[in-house]
Chain A
Amino acid sequence: MWQTMLLKSIEQGLVFGIMALGVYITFKILNFADLTVDGSFPLGAAVAASLIVGGHSPFTATLAAILAGALAGYITGILNTSAKISDLLAGILTMTSLYSINLRIMGRPNIPLLNQPTVFSMIQGAIENVFPGFPIRYLYLILFIIIVFVIKLLLDAFLKTQLGFALRATGDNPQMIRSQGVNTDFMKIIGLSLSNALISLSGALVAQYQGFADVGMGIGTIIAGLASVIIGDALFGEKSIFISTLSVLFGSFLYRFSISLVLSFRLAQASDLKLLTALVVIVALTAPRFKKTFKGFKISSEKG
């Protein structure tokens, strides 16, 4: 039982970790309290599931989910930079609109994917053909590790490019980077699109992993993402980009693992989880250490 629980927690930690990396981009790097998350995560699931059910390849469906997420982030960015709506409200507006849009896309509140092809079932089929003895039990684990680490390393690399430097400086000191000739509005839009593309990808993969898309599956995503970022930061601090993104993924795993612990010991009901998670985040944010390091949240609460 322990082994299964650990395996499941690692799998979930990884697949939701992609979402946590998205949250890390907006809250930690861009210093932008983006609440689009709760809408863009189910958006990814909705787009992917609808396309798969509609007969499209799961790969096309997942790619479409990524683009849809980027578009959602782009809209939040435009609302904030062009329409001058505050970051919190801009995110909430997009998130709320997405609830209706996701329902439109799905056409119903829930789409089961159990008998449908998914990116995982297709890869599984291919692998079983080539390596007949492959330990299928660990298929998700191995696939997730590969997918998530490729994304993590690409993100690390991006943050070391000129564009990545400009993105980091936009979150750190917008006045300074403007005086170095960078359009901070543009950088915000890039960061938000990238972040929500990852979040939406995470939603698409989660839907295919758990076998359904549900219009309500986004509720509380932002808090789970924040919890992962906070836990990772508490354990490892901000040493380097490589360590920071790794610690976000580790935070995501620890978060999922603690949830399974709580549930398996019947310390709480599944329905209490959101409350518990919110409490974890509240405690963490009031700890003095995070007042300094957790920029996204701090600045926005001072503004508001």
Chain B
Amino acid sequence: MLVLEHISKTFNPGTPNENQVFSDLSLKVEDGDFITVIGSNGAGKSTMLNAIAGVFPVDSGKIFLDGNDITNLPEYRRAAFIGRVFQDPMLGTSPSMTIEENLSLAFCRANNVSLRWGLDFNKRKTFKKYLSNIPLGLEKRLTTKVKLLSGGQRQALTLIMATMKKPRLLLLDEHTAALDPKTAMLVNDLTEKIIETNNITTIMVTHNLEHAIKMGNRLIMMHKGKIVMDIKGEEKATMTIPRLLNKFEQLQGEKFAEDRVMLA
């Protein structure tokens, strides 16, 4: 359903800061795939998600979603089919607006915003229902400003906002990395639950190798702008962390270097 064809991207071309992240990146994501992505620092994981979401134009290559060429579609138009959660809990919500106002923005996603009221009785009821699925008590705090929430509460809210209107594709970029272990687990469980019940095609970047192996149906490892490993099915199901690291060393002839990698 999502196809990246020979993508190349260089940041700051022609300057001393020139940085070629991709020279020829291709990837085919099947309908219903839940892909976990791991890779060393600076491998280009976030850049790949940004290219898919249209944060910047790619230099060459094509991106197709359900057969439609979306390479030149601006970010806000791709948002109609793509839901995102970022690593930084600050990025996914509007801090000076309330929980219900933020949810209302997500509720309108993919429709043109109009002069109709942003909130009404039915919407509030729907939002309460969504929020009561997570054990954070947010359903009682609809009129709280989001800036007063903790990082974990915000990420949970962002996740709900990204999936409230079922997206064709969900992009998660280390969305639990900034959270304490307990909250991270909660958000992670919520992620799995939402993806499975709604069968959402997902690409999730993580630095937690255990999660990468345990979650999803397909695992991709990136290194220096290339996909160096792509496993699924039986091979992924029987994968362990030592074997994963081993395989990387065999492929690359160097050690897997990720400062934040979690081995357990």
**Chain A interface residues (CB < 8 Å from chain B):** 158, 160-166, 168-169, 172-173, 175-184, 238
Write 27 A-B pairs (CB below 8 A) sorted by A numbering. A160-B118, A160-B119, A161-B114, A161-B115, A161-B118, A162-B104, A162-B114, A162-B116, A162-B117, A163-B113, A164-B118, A165-B104, A166-B108, A168-B94, A168-B96, A172-B94, A172-B95, A172-B96, A173-B93, A175-B86, A179-B75, A180-B79, A180-B108, A180-B109, A181-B77, A181-B80, A183-B76
Is B76 within 8 A of A168, CB to CB?
Answer: no
Chain A residues within an 8 Å CB radius of B119: 160
Chain B residues within an 8 Å CB radius of A164: 118
Chain A residues within an 8 Å CB radius of B80: 181
Kindly supply a per-residue 1/0 record for chain B positions 97-114, scoring 1 wherever the CB is within 8 Å of any chain A CB and 0 otherwise: 100011011101110011
Is A176 within 8 A of B93, CB to CB?
Answer: yes
Chain A residues within an 8 Å CB radius of B110: 181
Kindly supply a per-residue 1/0 record for chain B positions 60-102, scoring 1 wherever the CB is within 8 Å of any chain A CB and 0 otherwise: 0000000000000011110110101010001111111100011
Complex Cα spacing A178 to B92, Å: 10
Q: How far is the CB of B162 from chain A (nearest CB, A)?
A: 8
Given known pairs A172-B95, A173-B91, the reply for A180 and B105 (CB within 8 Å) is yes
Chain A residues within an 8 Å CB radius of B118: 160-162, 164-165
Complex Cα spacing A156 to B93, Å: 22
Is B79 within 8 A of A181, CB to CB?
Answer: yes
Q: How far is the CB of A31 from chain B (nearest CB, A)?
A: 10
Q: How far is the CB of B200 from chain A (nearest CB, A)?
A: 16
Given known pairs A180-B106, A181-B110, A183-B76, the reply for A168 and B116 (CB within 8 Å) is no
Chain A residues within an 8 Å CB radius of B106: 180
Given known pairs A160-B119, A173-B95, the reply for A166 and B75 (CB within 8 Å) is no
Kindly supply a per-residue 1/0 record for chain B positions 164-176, scoring 1 wherever the CB is within 8 Å of any chain A CB and 0 otherwise: 0000000000000
Is B94 within 8 A of A176, CB to CB?
Answer: yes
Is A169 within 8 A of B75, CB to CB?
Answer: no
Sample of 6 more A-B contacts, CB < 8 Å, known A168-B94, A173-B94:
A161-B118, A162-B113, A168-B97, A169-B102, A179-B92, A180-B106
Is B53 an interface residue when CB atoms closer than 8 A count as contact?
A: yes
Is B58 an interface residue when CB atoms closer than 8 A count as contact?
A: no
B53, B86, B113: the one contacting A166 at CB < 8 Å is B113
Q: What is the chain B residue whose CB lies nearest that of A162? A: B113
Is B2 an interface residue when CB atoms closer than 8 A count as contact?
A: no
Is A169 within 8 A of B76, CB to CB?
Answer: no
Is B161 an interface residue when CB atoms closer than 8 A count as contact?
A: yes
Q: What is the chain B residue whose CB lies nearest that of A165? A: B118
Q: What is the chain A residue whose CB lies nearest that of B110? A: A181
Complex Cα spacing A176 to B109, Å: 12
Complex Cα spacing A162 to B102, Å: 11
Is B161 within 8 A of A180, CB to CB?
Answer: yes
Given known pairs A168-B97, A169-B105, A172-B94, the reply for A179 and B115 (CB within 8 Å) is no
Q: What is the chain B residue whose CB lies nearest that of A175? A: B91
Is A169 within 8 A of B97, CB to CB?
Answer: yes
Complex Cα spacing A166 to B80, Å: 15
Chain A residues within an 8 Å CB radius of B75: 178-179
Complex Cα spacing A166 to B106, Å: 10
Is B114 within 8 A of A177, CB to CB?
Answer: no
Is A161 within 8 A of B105, CB to CB?
Answer: no
Chain B residues within an 8 Å CB radius of A177: 94, 105
Q: How far is the CB of B91 from chain A (nearest CB, A)?
A: 6
Q: How far is the CB of B99 from chain A (nearest CB, A)?
A: 13
Given known pairs A178-B76, A179-B53, A179-B75, the reply for A163 and B95 (CB within 8 Å) is no
Q: How far is the CB of A148 from chain B (nearest CB, A)?
A: 22
Q: How far is the CB of A28 from chain B (nearest CB, A)?
A: 10
Complex Cα spacing A168 to B93, Å: 12
Is A238 within 8 A of B97, CB to CB?
Answer: no
Chain A residues within an 8 Å CB radius of B161: 180
Q: What is the chain A residue whose CB lies nearest that of B81? A: A181
